[in-house]
Structure 1
């Protein structure tokens, strides 16, 4: 068994603010430790500059200098590996490379991106730091084909690039949904990309014929804007508020399909959750999103709300098609996106770095 130092520069896994990043970090902690290895969350230092502010970056570098020195001297003596999740230009890993070098332990990354276009401009220093942290990694695990493009182009030396598909923190599947009832949306209500998805959705709903209904699970600072978008549909749209995982899982069993356009989603854990319950998913064919979706007929982005509406109309009119697509989606998740597969893939690549395979 090995002891692993785990770090997330953008957001700690125990942050009180829900997000896909926090969810994936928690899943990775569980997967890495699933064979009995010890996984220590070694730092809560958040190195994140949202706006490209030089003063913020200078302050974070100073904090990181102190934190790196602390960790060099206090990291558990038997720590055999450092793992950093989500190193990128707004949240570079300023700790892992330094501590790993000083302690002479292997350094690997999960879901890292290289952004050479950011090496000039307000994030130039942080982008360079993220780039150098990528160079320091012996292995980089990538989640999507889109991330692989720049990782491969900028690959450093004999560095290994290994796919680690996004996964659910479970070893089995829930029962299959009946694929009956209202449609379901599960999405935070934030300005920017999330609100853009709600806008596309509202435009698509306006094109639907016949009887339909939609439940929306989620909340956030853009709630008023989302409610305004859905106001024309009256009682057809029901707001459920923010739900915990168990409640969302229960709703998967009571709906006909999940719909979410997926504007700039890195991949979207909600798609995996819905598919694991045997639900068909209606999403636009976007980079990242397509890495977690079972093969099906997804509308193209260029087809806009009309394409989304056409797909919804087709599925709403055909219960047997919904069930067939849902069954295929569930099988896809079982084969590729559950925790045991992630644990196996991670340790097959990393165990040799720390002196012996299990």
Structure 2
């Protein structure tokens, strides 16, 4: 067994504020520990700078220096490995490389990005620190093909780049949907990319024909804007509000398919969850999104809302096709995107490295 020091500079996995980043950090800790290896959350220091504030960056660097000294002195002596999740230019890992060098243990990253374009401008120093942290890692696990592009371009010497597909933190599939019910959308309601997805969805709905209904799970500060977008459809659209995990899974089980355009989604856990329940997905063919979807002919971004509507109409008009696609998607998730596969992939790479370094 190996003892793992886990760190997430963007947001700690036990943060009280929900987000996809927090959920993925939790899932990764769970997967790493699934074979009995203890995984310790060694620091909650958040090095996130949202706006490119030089003074804040210096304050965070000072805090990181103090935290690194503490960890070097106090981290359990039997720690075998350091794993950092989501090192990038707005939240670089300012701890791991220092601590690992002092302790003489391997340093590994999960879901890291190299933003060369940010090496100038307000985040220049933080971007360089993120690059330096990438260079220090013996192994970087990447989740999407899009991430691999920049990691390969900036690969440091013989650094290993290993695919670790996004996964659900479960060992078995949940109950399968009946396939009968309304369409389902799951998305937070906030300005930016989420609201852009809702706008595309609303335009797509305007092109649908026949009898249809849509349930929307989600809430947030842009709720009024989303409601305004959906107002022309009257009672065909029902707002479910923010759902807890059990209620969301119940919604999956009572729906026919999931629709969400996926503007700038890193990959989107909702796609994995929906497909695991046997729901086919209608989404635009975007980087990241395509890494978690059952391989199929998804509408291109250039096809716009009309392309999305065409695929939605196909599933609405052909329930047998909808069920067939859902079953194939469910089998795809079982083969590639459940926790046991992620655990196996992680330790198959790491255990030989620990034997060499010991």
TM band (smaller chain): over 0.9
1:183 aligns with 2:186: no
Task: Kindly provide the CA deviation profile for residues 236-272 of structure 1, in whole angstroms up to 9, marking residues without a partner as x.
Answer: 1111111111111111111110000000000000000
Greater shift in the superposed pair: 286-295 or 239-248: 239-248
Task: Kindly provide the CA deviation profile for residues 115-165 of structure 1, in whole angstroms up to 9, marking residues without a partner as x.
Answer: 111100111000000000000000000000000001011100110000000
2:239 and 2:221 map into 1 onto residues whose CA distance is 15
Give 3-state SS (helix, strand or coil) of 1:322's partner: helix
Task: Kindly provide the CA deviation profile for residues 171-217 of structure 1, in whole angstroms up to 9, marking residues without a partner as x.
Answer: 11112212111110111111111111011101111111111111111
TM-score, with structure 1 as normaliser:
0.98
Partner of 1:170: 170
Query: In the superposition, relative to structure 1, how do residues 69 and 20 fare at CA in structure 2: closer, same or farther (>3 Å)?
Result: same
Partner of 1:206: 206
Partner of 1:60: 60
1:82 and 1:248 map into 2 onto residues whose CA distance is 34
Q: Aligned-pair distance for 1:297?
A: 2.0
TM-score, with structure 2 as normaliser:
0.98
Contact 1:296 1:325 in 2 (8 A): no
Partner of 2:342: 342
Partner of 2:50: 50
Partner of 2:157: 157
Partner of 1:141: 141
Partner of 1:197: 197
2:355 and 2:244 map into 1 onto residues whose CA distance is 41
Greater shift in the superposed pair: 258-267 or 228-237: 228-237
Partner of 1:113: 113
Q: Aligned-pair distance for 1:230?
A: 0.9
1:296 and 1:158 map into 2 onto residues whose CA distance is 35
Aligned pair count reads 357
Give 3-state SS (helix, strand or coil) of 1:355's partner: helix
Q: Aligned-pair distance for 1:356?
A: 7.0
Alignment of 1:7-86 (within 5 A): 7-86=7-86
Q: Which runs of 5+ in 2 are unaligned?
A: none
Q: Which 4+ runs in 1 deviate beyond 3 A?
A: none
1:338 and 1:66 map into 2 onto residues whose CA distance is 38
Task: Kindly provide the CA deviation profile for residues 289-312 of structure 1, in whole angstroms up to 9, marking residues without a partner as x.
Answer: 000000122110000000001110
2:356 and 2:347 map into 1 onto residues whose CA distance is 11
Alignment of 1:293-332 (within 5 A): 293-332=293-332
Task: Kindly provide the CA deviation profile for residues 292-345 of structure 1, in whole angstroms up to 9, marking residues without a partner as x.
Answer: 000122110000000001110111011000000001101110110000000010
1:77 and 1:353 map into 2 onto residues whose CA distance is 19
2:176 and 2:210 map into 1 onto residues whose CA distance is 27
Partner of 2:271: 271
1:191 and 1:16 map into 2 onto residues whose CA distance is 21
Q: CA RMSD in A?
A: 1.0
